[in-house]
Chain A
Amino acid sequence: MFSFRMKLAAIAIVLAAAVAPAHAQSTASTTATAGITVIQPISIVNNKNMNFGTFVKPSSNTTVTLSNAGVISGLTAVNTSGNAPSQAQFTITGEGGQAINITVPGTVALTGTGGSLTVTLTADSGTTGSAQVATLSGAIGSAGTKVVNVGGTVPLTATTASGAYSGTFTVTAAYQ
């Protein structure tokens, strides 16, 4: 025969055993992933300015074309010494492999003493006047580049005023 004290001891053992499984489930955990991609700043440098060159005024309406490779067609440039035709060129530098948007304006106004001329721009990065998608060379972890050449066309007429015309335009590059 067990004393009352012994019974209580037995009960205590039983309860401890019964509770143990629940205790094992009283803690839970889960793992989340975290990530970030770190890239270097983007920059753009103007390597070459756009220069159509010098032309003799045409006797009839003629469009002078400056290709993205710097080649003139439509008229023949004269006095090219030190004034050779050249396309505009830009180098974009940023994180390798990153997608970027390049924006080249659709037109640029050249102004001179006799008036103004409108150059319609062309770019080897794609359509002008809106952002074009491109990818920087290389892969993340090192610098990548993208070169953009910009040419254009300008209409000349017999009444175009003689003179020097100039203007500026801005090319923008941005990470997507």
Chain B
Amino acid sequence: MNFKNILTVAAFVSAAVISQVASADGTTSSATVSSSATLVRPVTVTKDSDLAFGTIVLPSAGSGSVTLATNGTFTVTGTGAAGLASSTKTVGGFTVSGEGGMAITVTVPATFALSASGQPDLTVTTSNDMTGASTAQTLSNALGSAGVLAVKVGGSFPISSTTATAAYAGSFQVTAAYN
């Protein structure tokens, strides 16, 4: 890219700048600062599935836990506690899309609340299937084509025989950003 190419870019931005640069002499400059950043596809995050734990029966005594792993394995602990087979359990699923090969940071909240009117919240501790640090994720493919990264989110929370019975609901946000 030579200096004239850069002037072309400038034309879209500011007439004042163009007039200043246009008055310059013909000295060429190699200040072709990589403008490839302007060609990167926007990054998007799409939700493929919500996180659903289904219906669980509380322990008859003592405490326990409910865990939905990112691979879909559902575990309920506690005396007499169980998940109803008829209830639907789904792992939270997200697809990050953007420029292939780009390094990204995917942020999944460590915890979020499930709420029911008039009852104490249930605090869900999330899990996810990202390999390595969330700040060092990479979109598939290479620069020049679209890339994706699928992220699954599971969760776990404690229960006890005194947990209030109710239908609890909540939400959490997953964010992706180019590094």
Contact = CB atoms under 8 A, between A and B. Distances in A.
A35 B37 contact: no
Interface residues of B, number: 70
Contact of A39 (B38, B49, B58): B58
A11 B33 CA distance: 9
Given A18-B12, A33-B169, A36-B66, A26 B42 contact: yes
Given A25-B43, A29-B45, A33-B170, A15 B35 contact: yes
B29 A140 contact: no
B40 interface: yes
Chain A interface category by residue count: 35 or more
Interface in A1-55: 1-2, 4, 6-8, 10-15, 17-19, 21-23, 25-42
A114 interface: no
Contacts of A18: 9, 12-13, 35, 38
Given A2-B24, A28-B176, A14 B9 contact: yes
B159 A38 contact: yes
A42 B17 contact: no
B170 A38 contact: no
Main secondary structure, interface of A, reads mixed
A33 to B, nearest CB: 5
A22 B164 contact: no
A176 interface: yes
Given A14-B13, A41-B58, A140-B167, A32 B175 contact: no
Contacts of A95: 165
Nearest to B46: A30
Interface string A125-167: 0000000000000001110000000000000000000000000
B50 A4 contact: no
A55 B177 CA distance: 84
B14 interface: yes
A37 B20 contact: no
A95 B166 CA distance: 9
A32 B24 contact: no
A31 B9 contact: no
A171 B133 CA distance: 54
B53 A34 contact: yes
Nearest to A95: B165
Contact of A38 (B25, B27, B49, B165): B165
Interface in B144-167: 153, 155, 159, 163-167
Contacts of A34: 50-53, 92, 112, 114, 124, 155, 169-172
A27 B106 CA distance: 10
A30 B94 contact: yes
8 contacts: A4-B27, A4-B29, A13-B17, A22-B42, A29-B45, A35-B169, A36-B54, A39-B55
Interface of A: 1-2, 4, 6-8, 10-15, 17-19, 21-23, 25-42, 95, 140-142, 175-176
**CB-based closest 7 A-B pairs:** A25-B42, A36-B53, A29-B175, A27-B177, A34-B51, A14-B10, A37-B55
Given A10-B21, A38-B159, 14 more contacts: A2-B21, A11-B33, A15-B9, A18-B35, A26-B40, A27-B178, A28-B175, A29-B174, A30-B46, A32-B94, A33-B169, A36-B56, A38-B165, A40-B58
